[in-house]
Homo-oligomer: A and B are copies of this chain.
Amino acid sequence: MARVVVEVMLKPEILDPQGQAISRKLPQMGFEGVTAVRQGKRFEIELDGPADEDAVERIRELAGTLLANPVIEDFEVHAE
């Protein structure tokens, strides 16, 4: 059993209204010092084999088709 993690975030140039809403709310809650918040997705993928380079590469292909939209999102894949 091994785990591979995929992190998907909107590209920097894409507006993130969810993150902006959180960022705006913080000063009202007495929380100063935050300049920006971005919200993205995290996938934990459990494998029945090892999380070797081949598995990570296959999940990278998967992420680009099923988990992320490469037009508006960047993603990173790593074994954990």
Q: How far is the CA of A49 from the CA of B41 in the complex (A)?
A: 25
Copies of this chain, complex-wide, total 2
Q: How many residues of A contact B (CB 8 A)?
A: 33
Q: A38 near B33 (CB under 8 angstroms)? A: no
Quote the shortest CB–CB distance from A38 to chain B (angstroms): 4
Chain B: CB-nearest residue to A7 = B42
Q: A34 near B22 (CB under 8 angstroms)? A: no
**Is A29 positioned at the interface, with any CB of B under 8 Å from its CB?**
yes
Q: List 12 A-B contacts (CB under 8 A).
A: A1-B35, A25-B66, A26-B62, A36-B45, A36-B46, A37-B45, A37-B46, A38-B43, A39-B42, A40-B44, A41-B42, A42-B42
